[in-house]
Amino acid sequence: MEWLLAQSDAAALPTKAAAKAVTAASATQWSDPRIYILLAVILGTLGIASIVGVILARREKIGIETALVRRFNHKLRVWWMMVVIFTFGLLLGRIGVVVLFGLVSFWALREFITMTPTRRGDHRTLFWVFFIFTPLQYVLIALGSTPPVSLGGHKGIDYYDFYSIMIPVYASLFIPARAAIAGDYKRFLERSAKIQSGLLICVYSLSYAPALLDLKLIQTNGTPWQGSTVSVLIFFVLIAQLASVFERAWGKLAGRHVIAEKINASRTWEGFVGSMVTTGLVAATLYWATPFYPWEAGVLGAVVTVMASAGTMTMSAIKRDRGVTDTGTLVQGHAGVLDQIDNICFAAPVFYHLTRFFWSA
């Protein structure tokens, strides 16, 4: 009997040691000073921009359109709200970040679906989309590659194999089948495609942002990176948002050739190229928050710009098709949640997979 107890204690030692290692790694993950330096840079920049916005709003004869100043200040309010919410999610830890992005996905999907009318035959399908597939995607993201033993985790399990195919394969097959069972054939293909697109963009693609937290990163030379993936997530969200800001700014300053006038008359080739260069330079200066070398961070910044622009153009095309200006109302005088994250939705899976392929152990 004593021998069995001794063997049981010996078998439990690796599990206890692994649990302690995971706890220590988690503490290190959230105590990295890069996180707080990066947040301080963001807050400082927003603070300066807010002061400039107040000065511009109070001065009448400054040679700048009042509508432009008003839009700038409205945008600043949105950024402040996004930063506060995002920071609050970070303070709650990894699960808090996953839950935050899950709620954002749910709201963005709601805005996407409400842009077009649905039929009664879609209601059961939408129930599955909102309350089964969306939460399940983020549960799998939360489990990651090292789930807690209390949640059924075992050494070597990587839930990437599940969350990478669950929506594009199984959910995409389930949606038209469930809609067909409802018996409503009118505009069947259009309705199914709309729901599939919304789930793919608002849930599946966006979920790759919090999935960055689960990567075990290395540098290009093969040495393990001692930093935190939290700072990589902040880096990605920051450059995705800056890409849209720089594209609009360069379009105002030097825009001559519109990319697609009937889709979005404010997006120009000059703004696109200018944003690629500027965002790449900013990303290169922030390389210290990532495992990337400066030139690698710059290239990733340019790639994120391409995908961010693609997301903005795609959502503009959808809104023009549906005859709406904004997907919703996030702040008075400004657009909805989906309008604020369309760039992140398109850039997240590309940034994640590039990072996973080239800088993941």
Inter-CA distances, 96 with 10, 86, 146, Å:
35, 10, 17
Last residue of a domain, one of 183, 214, 245: 214
CB atoms within 10 A of CB 348: 28
**SS3 per residue for 149-176:** HHHCCCCCCCCHHHHCCHHHHHHHHHHH
CB 300 within 8 A of CB 359: no
- Tell me if 118 is assigned to some domain: yes
In terms of domains, do 145 and 132 share one?
yes
In terms of domains, do 225 and 142 share one?
no
- Tell me if 172 is assigned to some domain: yes
Paired with 189 in beta bridges are: none
Q: pLDDT at position 5, please? A: 43
Last residue of a domain, one of 165, 191, 214: 214
| Among 349, 220, 239, 222, CA closest to 298 | 239
Q: For the whole model, what pTM was predicted?
A: 0.86
In terms of domains, do 271 and 221 share one?
yes
Q: pLDDT at position 326, please? A: 64
CB 286 within 8 A of CB 235: yes
Boundaries of domain holding 236: 215-361
Classify residue 71 by burial, with Cβ atoms within 10 Å: 0-12, 13-18, 19+.
Answer: middle
In terms of domains, do 194 and 237 share one?
no
Looking up tokens 């995607």, which residue turns up? 137
- Number of independent structural domains in the chain: 2
In terms of domains, do 361 and 220 share one?
yes
CB 318 within 8 A of CB 345: no
Classify residue 17 by burial, with Cβ atoms within 10 Å: 0-12, 13-18, 19+.
Answer: exposed
- Tell me if 9 is assigned to some domain: no
Q: How far apart are CA 187 and CA 105, in angstroms?
A: 26
In terms of domains, do 178 and 219 share one?
no
Which token pair is 291? 């495992």
In terms of domains, do 203 and 244 share one?
no
Q: pLDDT at position 330, please? A: 53
Last residue of a domain, one of 197, 214, 231: 214
| Among 209, 63, 181, CA closest to 125 | 181
**Share in percent of the chain as helix, strand, coil (round to 5):** 75, 5, 20
Q: pLDDT at position 229, please? A: 92
Question: What is the full per-residue pLDDT of the chain (361 aa) written as tens digits?
Answer: 444 444 444 444 444 444 444 444 444 567 788 888 888 888 888 888 888 878 877 765 555 566 677 777 777 888 888 888 888 888 888 899 999 999 999 999 999 998 877 788 889 999 999 999 999 999 999 988 654 444 454 555 778 989 999 999 999 999 999 999 988 888 899 899 999 999 999 999 999 999 999 999 999 888 999 888 999 999 999 999 999 889 988 998 887 889 998 888 889 999 999 999 999 999 999 999 999 999 999 999 999 999 999 999 999 998 888 887 766 555 454 567 888 899 999 999 999 999 999 998 7
Classify residue 200 by burial, with Cβ atoms within 10 Å: 0-12, 13-18, 19+.
Answer: middle
CB 180 within 8 A of CB 121: no
Q: pLDDT at position 3, please? A: 46
- Tell me if 320 is assigned to some domain: yes
- Tell me if 226 is assigned to some domain: yes
In terms of domains, do 190 and 232 share one?
no
Which token pair is 122? 């879609």
In terms of domains, do 142 and 174 share one?
yes
- Tell me if 19 is assigned to some domain: no
In terms of domains, do 344 and 253 share one?
yes
Looking up tokens 């990337």, which residue turns up? 292
- Tell me if 27 is assigned to some domain: no
- Tell me if 57 is assigned to some domain: no
Q: How far apart are CA 336 and CA 229, in angstroms?
A: 28
CB neighbour list of residue 61: distance below 8 Å, 6 or more residues apart: none
In terms of domains, do 358 and 260 share one?
yes
In terms of domains, do 195 and 255 share one?
no
